[in-house]
């Protein structure tokens, strides 16, 4: 397997045809997986906003005040308002905002970025990243597309790339029923392939001013496995999310 960045992509603006920009710059093969940083998908989809677009309500003011008390830094209640409007549930309010977005992704600040946002204050995640992935896919020679974001996770330091949308491949491959080298049957392993590919792509894309938001994964083979599109956990089976709910309600 090989990964490389698509060269010479310009600054992306609202209305840009990302698929055409990608397809013009690299000779894609049908089985390539094209990983696109959500940042440029959002820019193309016009998800750049000024703070003025989010006049804060009482809840946003309360959250900003509380964050300020804890951290000592002034927090803009309009930022909290933007996060609330992007979210279906607030899991943690302080010392940081952890929420579930409308499309099911749980992340800090609903994935809203304040870096790499020329022409505005805030960059919101794409509204429906898997639909974005499908649109890009329909305009390029490759059949598989992943929309990525950089995201932290509990229990470990640092951020890494994750998949927030995908099209043309399944999210996971299921090893259950297959055997290990001892002949023991695997009982639980469902490997989340799109997150793994997103993490690898993110290594190449970088986080700063590299200008390489699109990474091609070549010769990745899904292999002969049962696949599944399950990615974001449903609330019902998500014990950690349930525990956070209980803890939040007790404090």
Nearest-approach distance from CB 158 to ligand GDP, in angstroms: 13
Min separation Cβ 113 and Mn ion, Å: 4
CB atoms near residue 19 (< 10 Å): 20
Tokens of 55: 């006049």
Instruction: By CB under 5 A, name the one of 101, 130, 132, 150 that touches Mn ion.
Output: 150
Is residue 113 close enough to count as binding ligand GDP by CB under 6 A? yes
Q: Does 12 bind ligand GDP (CB under 6 A)?
A: yes
Which CB sits closer to ligand GDP, 34 or 56?
34
> For Mn ion, which residue of 23, 32, 76, 149 counts as binding (CB under 5 A)?
149
- The rounded radius of gyration (Å) of the Cα atoms in the chain is 19
Of 143, 144, 187, 186, the residue nearest 165 (C-alpha): 144
Q: What distance separates the 2 farthest-apart alpha carbons in the chain?
A: 61
Closest-CA residue to 11 (of 212, 249, 228, 238): 212
State the binding partner of 138 from ligand GDP, Mn ion, none, CB within 5 to 8 A by kind. Answer: none
According to DSSP H, which parts of the chain are helical?
18-23, 38-44, 58-71, 77-86, 129-138, 193-205, 239-250
Q: Which of 42, 38, 16 is nearest to 214 (CA)?
A: 38
DSSP 25: T
Contact between 150 and ligand GDP (CB under 6 A)?
yes
- Residues of this chain, 215-244, that bind ligand GDP according to CB under 6 A: none
Helices 58-71 and 77-86, axial angle in degrees (round to 10): 120
Residue 175 in tokens: 């090893």
Residues 51-110 that bind ligand GDP (CB under 6 A): none
Please choose which of Mn ion, ligand GDP, none residue 12 contacts, taking the beta carbon within 5 to 8 angstroms, the exact cut-off set by kind. ligand GDP
Is the Cβ of residue 28 or residue 108 nearer to ligand GDP in the bound state?
Answer: 108
Bridge partners, 106 (sequence order): 100
Using the contact rule CB under 6 A, the part of the chain among 5-13, 133-141, 217-225, 232-240 near ligand GDP is 5-13
Contact call for residue 21 and ligand GDP (CB under 6 A): no
The mark string for 67-106 relative to Mn ion (x by CB under 5 A, - otherwise) is: ----------------------------------------
């Amino acid at each position: 397997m090989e990964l490389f960045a698509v060269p010479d992509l310009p600054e992306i603006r609202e209305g840009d045809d990302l698929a055409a920009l990608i397809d013009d710059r690299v000779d894609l093969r049908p089985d390539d997986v094209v990983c696109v940083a959500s940042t440029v998908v959002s820019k193309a989809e016009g998800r750049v906003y000024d703070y003025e677009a989010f006049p804060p309500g009482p809840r946003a003011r309360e959250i900003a005040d509380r964050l300020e008390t804890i951290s000592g830094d002034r927090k803009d209640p309009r930022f909290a308002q933007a996060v609330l409007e992007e979210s279906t549930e607030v899991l943690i309010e302080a010392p940081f905002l952890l929420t579930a977005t409308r499309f099911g992704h749980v992340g800090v600040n609903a994935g809203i970025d304040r870096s790499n946002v020329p022409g505005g204050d805030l960059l919101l995640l794409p509204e429906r990243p898997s639909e974005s992935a499908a649109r890009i896919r329909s305009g390029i020679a490759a059949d598989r597309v992943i929309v990525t974001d950089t995201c932290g996770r509990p229990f470990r330091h640092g951020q890494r790339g994750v998949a927030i949308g995908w099209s043309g491949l399944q999210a996971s491959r299921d090893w259950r029923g297959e055997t290990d080298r001892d002949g023991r049957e695997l009982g639980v392993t469902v490997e989340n392939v799109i997150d793994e590919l997103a993490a690898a792509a993110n290594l190449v894309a970088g986080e700063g001013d590299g200008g390489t938001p699109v990474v091609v994964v070549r010769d990745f083979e899904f292999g002969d496995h049962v696949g599944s599109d399950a990615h974001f956990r449903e609330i019902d089976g998500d014990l950690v999310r349930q525990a956070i709910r209980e803890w939040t309600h007790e404090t």
